[in-house]
Amino acid sequence: MYPDRVVSGMRPTGSMHLGHYHGALKNWIKLQAEQPCLFFVADWHALTTHYDDPSVIERSTWEMLIDWLAAGIDPSQTTLFIQSRVPEHAELHLLLSMATPLGWLERVPTYKDQIENLSTRDLATYGFLGYPLLQAADVLIYRASLVPVGDDQVPHIEMMREIARRFNHLYGKEKGFEEKAEKAVKKLGSKRAKLYSELRTEYQRDGKDDALEQAKAMLDDAQNLSLGDRERLFGYLEGSRKLILVEPQARLTAAGRLPGLDGRKMSKSYGNAIALREDKESVGKKIRTMPTDPARVRRTDAGDPTRCPVWQFHQVYSDAPTQAWVQRGCVSAGIGCIECKQPVIDAIVKEQEPMHERAQQYLDDPSLVRAIVADGNDAARRLAQETMRDVREAMGLAYT
């Protein structure tokens, strides 16, 4: 099988806030230590909803990249790039669009939601309808095995899988495939070849999924096969097609959600956000003026943490003894709200200190970020070109 890879992108929204950090970036930082990752700025996606106002895209892109680096995305472990600098995404998007039924795009749940939620914009455009397909191209072009997503994005991954399956079915036919696959089976060596054939029969005749998994694991271990033979044997297990595109899996982002200062979703447009690199005086001021349980009008009134957004911050930032102190002190009116908020302020300021430090070098010398991204663009492009060679060949566009 192709090597494991994680791919994820974000629209350039300018500077990031702590909601982005706890909702996505922390997870990216964890993933980069586990597997090869490609993280990209989805600048074309920004145009699907803001095609009439592209003026902020470039500035937002660089601000966002500095925040990623400040948060701890490590360019020595991860490939960071800008989507539009890898034009192969657009080529694959176009080619996939030829065979993608319109109904698949129209039924994506976020399509209807966004049309309703963004009713002030004219989103009856071809680009907006096609954005899940562009997302599919963004992922499939790297043959990604994993895509970190929230619950609402799972249907998009399902669609990517369907698109990859359909593509392999339509274009994975290879002249003399069965003969080539049988020759590749022999290269496994007699014992493994026998086992492969038995497992393939068990899967195809009896539908045994564990036989399929066992056979795949065996192929993963078979070091003596060429990439072409390996893909043939993976495809041969499930039918008579070569696997050109890989079906990615969704990796659900563990719920580490940090709400906004007013308890709603954190968002710059709601005015309830704390920027990733907010200065500490401003952090203190914002937390000290946060709303609390509305029932606690006076210091002597008992409160209920479950009705207070500060408690949600404690759940993200405080250890168990501090949380117990909040619970006891709030319901008994033993502590005041300003007192209760101080550990949250301290924890946020502490969390942000290394981010400020890491960001400083990029603010002092912006060419460092440019260089990191230029390297990332090149690396991403090399991988994208590998896939596109196979895609063009499969679709009769190789012109050799």
> Which spans of this chain sit near ligand SF4 (rule: CB under 6 A)?
292-293, 296, 303, 305, 308, 310-311, 326, 330, 335, 337, 340-341
Non-local CB neighbours of 352 within 8 Å, separated by 6+ positions = 276, 277, 278, 280, 283
SS3 35: coil
* Cβ proximity to ligand SF4, 338 vs 397, nearer residue: 338
Minimum Å gap between C-beta 271 and ligand SF4 is 20
* Cβ proximity to ligand SF4, 19 vs 305, nearer residue: 305
* Cβ proximity to ligand SF4, 89 vs 296, nearer residue: 296
* Cβ proximity to ligand SF4, 159 vs 287, nearer residue: 287
| Measured torsion, CA atoms of residues 298, 299, 304, 309, in degrees rounded to the nearest 10 | 90
Closest Cα partner for 50 from 115, 112, 111, 128?
128
Q: Tokens standing for 385?
A: 């070109």
Minimum Å gap between C-beta 21 and ligand SF4 is 22
Minimum Å gap between C-beta 311 and ligand SF4 is 5
* Cβ proximity to ligand SF4, 121 vs 307, nearer residue: 307
Minimum Å gap between C-beta 267 and ligand SF4 is 22
Minimum Å gap between C-beta 341 and ligand SF4 is 6
* Cβ proximity to ligand SF4, 64 vs 283, nearer residue: 283
* Cβ proximity to ligand SF4, 75 vs 305, nearer residue: 305
Q: Tokens standing for 88?
A: 């192969």
SS3 46: helix
Q: DSSP code of 23? A: I
Torsions phi, psi for 376 (to 5 deg): -65, -40
Q: Which residue has 């068990």 as its token pair? A: 202
Name 81's bridge partners: 40
Minimum Å gap between C-beta 330 and ligand SF4 is 3
Alpha-carbon distances, residue 324 vs 237, 327, 330, 331, 340 (angstroms):
55, 5, 10, 11, 11
Closest Cα partner for 160 from 86, 244, 248?
248
Minimum Å gap between C-beta 335 and ligand SF4 is 6
Closest Cα partner for 162 from 114, 108, 207, 112?
108
